[in-house]
Amino acid sequence: MAELEIIELDDVARLTDVAELLREVWGADTADQILNLSMLRALAHAGNYVVGAYRDGRLIGASVAFRGDDHLHSHVTGVVPGGHGAGVGRALKLHQREWSLRHGISRIRWTFDPLVRRNAYFNLRKLGAEATEYLEDFYGALTDGINVGDPSDRLYVCWELERPVAEPDLSAATRFVPTPADIEGLRSADPAAAERWRYAVREGLHGPMADGWTIAGFTDDGAYALKEPA
C-alpha cells in the first residue's frame, strides 16, 4: 500500500476537493451542510488547521480545526468509505497533535456522538482523551445523511497532548452506560430503536455528568464507565 501523505491546504482547487469529500462522507446534499469552500478558505488563510490525507495522489481524508482560547478545536475529520480500518483517521489525529505542539498548543478539544462506539473507544482508550461535558442537541437539527432526524447530542472531550496514554483504571467505576454496537446501521434498519438508544445514553450520561460524575473510561464491551463524585 502506498504511503499516506498529509498536507496542509490553502488553495481553492484542493479545498474544493475537501468540501466535496466531507459532503460525500456525511451523505449531504450540498457542501453547505458540512463545510463549504468559502469557510475552508477563510479558516486556512487565517492560520488554522486544514489538511488533506492523500494516497497515490487521491484525497481519502481531511481534517479541519481552529484555534480556541487555550486549545485547538477539532471541528471535523472525515475519511472516505472503506478507509476507517486503514489507519487514516489515526494518522490525521496524530498529525493534528504534531501540528498543535509545533504551534505551542498543548491540548485539543472536540465533540463526538456518544452513540458511535468505535469513536468512543478511539477517543477515550487509544488517544486517552477525557470526556468533560455532555452537550444535549449541541448543533440543533442536522440535515446530512448521517444525522438527519436524530438529536445532535455530543460528548465534549479534551486531549492533553503531553500526557502519556495510560490504560484506564475502572476499579472505582460504579455505573456503566452501554452503547449500541452499530448505531449507523441501526438508524437505517430500525430508527425507533436508534432513538431509544439516544435517550437512554442521554439519561445515563447527561444528568450524572452535570452532577459531578466523571467518565473513567470505556470498556472493552462498549460501555461508558462512570465514577461518582469524590
Domain CATH number, residue 57: 3.40.630.30
Report the pLDDT value the prediction gives residue 69, as an integer from 0 to 100: 94
pLDDT tier at 85 (50, 70, 90 boundaries)?
low
Within a domain: residue 197?
Answer: no
pLDDT at 180: 98
pLDDT of 229 reads 93
Average pLDDT over residues 126-133: 97
Instruction: Read off the pLDDT of each residue in 88-94 and give the average, rounded to a whole number.
Output: 96
Euclidean distance between CA atoms 38 and 208, whole angstroms: 40
Whether 206 is covered by a domain: the verdict is: no
Domain of residue 135 covers 5-167
Domain count across the chain: 1
Question: pLDDT, tens digit, for every residue of 30-52?
Answer: 988 999 999 999 999 999 999 99
* pTM of the entire predicted model: 0.93
Q: Who has greater pLDDT, 82 or 197?
A: 197
Q: How far apart are the C-alpha atoms of 158 and 207, rounded to whole Å?
A: 20
Residue 213 lies in a domain: no
Query: Three cell numbers at 111?
Result: 465533540
Confidence of residue 84 (pLDDT cuts 50, 70, 90): low
Residue whose C-alpha is closest to residue 159's, from 111, 225, 103? 111
Average pLDDT over residues 94-110: 98
- What does the DSSP 8-state code read for residue 4? P
Grid coordinates given for 150: 436524530
- The answer to whether the beta carbons of residues 43 and 22 sit under 8 Å apart is no
pLDDT of residue 82: 72
Q: Show Cβ contacts of residue 71 under 8 Å, excluding neighbours closer than 6 positions.
A: 105, 107, 108, 109, 158
pLDDT, one tens digit per residue, over 19-30 is 999 999 999 999
Closest CA to 203 of 184, 182, 175: 175
The answer to whether 60 and 76 are in contact (CB under 8 A) is no
Buried b (16+ CB within 10 A) or exposed e, 63-84: bbbebeeebbbbbbbbbbeebe
pLDDT in tens, 147-198: 888 999 999 999 999 999 888 889 999 999 999 999 999 999 999 999 999 9
Whole-number percent of the chain with pLDDT over 90: 88
Angle at alpha carbon of residue 182, lines to 77 and 92, rounded to 5°:
20
Alpha carbon distance 32, 44 (integer Å): 17
- pLDDT of res. 149: 86
pLDDT bin (cut points 50, 70, 90) of residue 88 is very high
